[in-house]
């Protein structure tokens, strides 16, 4: 058997303590931020917008990037309208029925889609039983 000095015993103890601490931490999935019923500004009945941030863009086609969440209560909808800028949308929570350029599709948590300035129209409806949160990254020229 090899020599086992105090330094080795100390390192073994630290390793055991760290392993025990890691096993004791419950692993839970990350959850999306939830919003209160009055956070942000009302866009329409059951639809609110929460502005998250904005900064200058390094993408040559765009001067500014802006991020916002649109919170849609069950049964609420947004009217179909022309997109005023390019944007990327991500379904953060829930589900939405989307009408984009007369095409209908459903988006669920984790789905991503895009809209183009001037050539895209879009409207949404939350036909589910839970709140839907659509994160939008606006690409502003």
DSSP secondary structure letter of residue 61:
T
Provide the whole-model pTM: 0.75
Q: What is the domain-level CATH number for residue 46?
A: 2.60.120.10
pLDDT reading at 113 higher than 90: yes
Residue 61 burial by Cβ neighbours in a 10 Å radius (0-12, 13-18, 19+): exposed
pLDDT tens for 40-61 read: 999 999 999 999 999 999 999 9
Count of domains forming the chain: 1
Question: Domain range holding 90?
Answer: 41-140
In a domain, 50, yes or no: yes
Determine the Cα–Cα distance for residues 10 and 93; give it in Å rounded to an integer: 47
**Mean pLDDT to the nearest integer, 1-17:** 59
Q: Are 124 and 78 in contact (CB under 8 A)?
A: yes
CB atoms closer than 10 angstroms to residue 93:
20
Query: Is residue 28 assigned to a domain?
Result: no
116 in any annotated domain: yes
């Amino acid at each position: 058997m090899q020599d086992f000095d105090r330094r080795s015993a100390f390192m073994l103890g630290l390793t055991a303590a760290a392993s025990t601490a890691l096993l004791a931490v419950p692993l839970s999935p990350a959850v999306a931020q939830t919003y209160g019923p009055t956070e942000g500004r009302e866009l329409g009945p059951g639809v609110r917008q929460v502005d998250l941030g904005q900064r200058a863009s390094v993408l040559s086609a765009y001067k500014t990037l802006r991020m916002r969440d649109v919170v849609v209560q069950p049964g609420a909808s947004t009217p179909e309208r022309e997109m005023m800028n390019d944007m990327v949308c991500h379904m953060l929570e829930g589900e939405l029925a989307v009408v984009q350029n007369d095409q209908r599709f459903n988006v669920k948590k984790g789905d991503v889609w895009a809209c183009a300035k001037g050539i895209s129209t879009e409207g949404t409806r939350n036909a589910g039983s839970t709140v839907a949160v659509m994160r939008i990254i606006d690409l502003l020229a």
